[in-house]
């Protein structure tokens, strides 16, 4: 489509796309969902609004889960080529339907891309429409859905701010920190340093510091290892004085655990901190 003029695309390519997007074979519609974004830049804004947007919505609502999955992955990329009001009026209603889709794979693909819509629709529409969908997906029964969303937490916080995070997202973060799937817990651990940098020392100390220490006693070794790295990053982020007063005493208390694995983790944490913290603080 990019090799042809706008008028040629309208006359030649568009009728073909219109036809194959409704082909009887789901594999054909799947390919359309994968490549529809490549055609949009070659079309006029009017054609994009009246032809491409409805076509994309139809693919998001396709009867085959594989097609809906392919379209969901392109959600943010396609929406970036639309006017914000069109995203709100046409795309978001289809996204809301996908959040309750019967296919866990569709929901997982949606979760990986849904928050890419937030900068496009603005803070108001994000709070009103996207945030409830985000919270719904964070509680999805399928761990891959929850996992795909966690990486977006820092970006969501950057857009919404600390106050809304405290009231809306913090309960979900606390729940995910204790998730039964260790990969979900690990993803929360890994996103904590960038979140802490955004939230500031006072909020972090009050709401999240204890959570970071609890991960040092997680039953999964990989999470304990990541928690050790977190303690060091937080010390470097907020400074030695803060760490000595609020973080390190909690870490040192884990040395008294009855579980030898947790005592070993405490020693490993001390070793990790040794290069950034003086011995008078650690011993």
pTM of whole model > 0.75? Answer: yes
**Given phi > 0 = left and psi -120 to 50 = alpha, else beta, which region is 142?**
beta
Residue 35 has pLDDT above 70, yes or no: yes
Q: What is the per-residue pLDDT for 280?
A: 56
Quick one: average pLDDT of 82-93? Answer: 95
**Residue 16 pLDDT more than 50?**
yes
Could you tell me the two tokens for 201?
A: 């020392």
In the predicted structure, residue 260 carries a pLDDT above the cut 70 = yes
Selection from 87, 64, 68, 67 nearest residue 77 by Cα: 87
Q: Does the structure show a pLDDT above 50 at 191?
A: yes
What's the pLDDT tens digit per position in 224-242?
999 999 999 999 999 988 9
Residue 33: how many other CB atoms lie within 10 Å: 28
Instruction: Please report the beta strands in the chain, taking only residues with DSSP state E, as ranges in sequence order.
Output: none
Where is pLDDT greater, at 157 or 188? 188
Burial class (CB in 10 A: 0-12, 13-18, 19+), 165: buried
Tell me how far apart the alpha carbons of residues 238 and 248 are, in angstroms, rounded to a whole number.
12
């Amino acid at each position: 489509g990019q090799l042809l003029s706008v008028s040629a695309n309208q006359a030649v390519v568009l009728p073909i796309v219109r036809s194959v997007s409704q082909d009887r074979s789901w594999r054909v519609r799947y390919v359309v969902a994968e490549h529809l974004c490549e055609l949009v830049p070659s079309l006029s804004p009017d054609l994009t609004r009246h032809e491409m947007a409805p076509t994309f919505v139809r693919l998001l609502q396709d009867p085959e889960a594989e097609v809906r999955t392919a379209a969901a992955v392109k959600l943010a990329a396609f929406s970036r080529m639309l006017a914000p009001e069109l995203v709100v009026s046409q795309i978001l209603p289809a996204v809301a339907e996908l959040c309750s889709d019967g296919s866990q794979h569709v929901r997982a693909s949606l979760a990986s891309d849904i928050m890419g819509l937030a900068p496009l629709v603005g803070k108001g529409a994000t709070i009103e429409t996207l945030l409830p969908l985000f919270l719904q997906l964070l509680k999805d029964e399928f761990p891959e859905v929850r996992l795909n969303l966690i990486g977006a937490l820092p970006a969501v916080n950057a857009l919404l701010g600390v106050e809304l995070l405290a009231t809306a997202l913090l309960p979900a973060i606390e729940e995910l920190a204790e998730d039964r799937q260790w990969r979900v817990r690990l993803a929360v651990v890994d996103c904590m340093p960038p979140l802490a940098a955004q939230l500031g020392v006072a909020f972090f100390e009050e709401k999240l510091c204890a959570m970071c220490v609890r991960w040092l006693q997680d039953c999964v070794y990989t999470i304990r290892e990541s928690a050790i790295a977190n303690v060091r990053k937080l010390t470097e982020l907020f400074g030695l004085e803060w760490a000595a007063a609020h973080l390190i005493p909690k870490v040192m208390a884990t040395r008294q655990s009855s579980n030898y694995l947790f005592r070993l983790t405490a020693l490993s944490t001390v070793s990790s901190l040794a290069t950034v913290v003086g011995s008078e603080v650690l011993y």
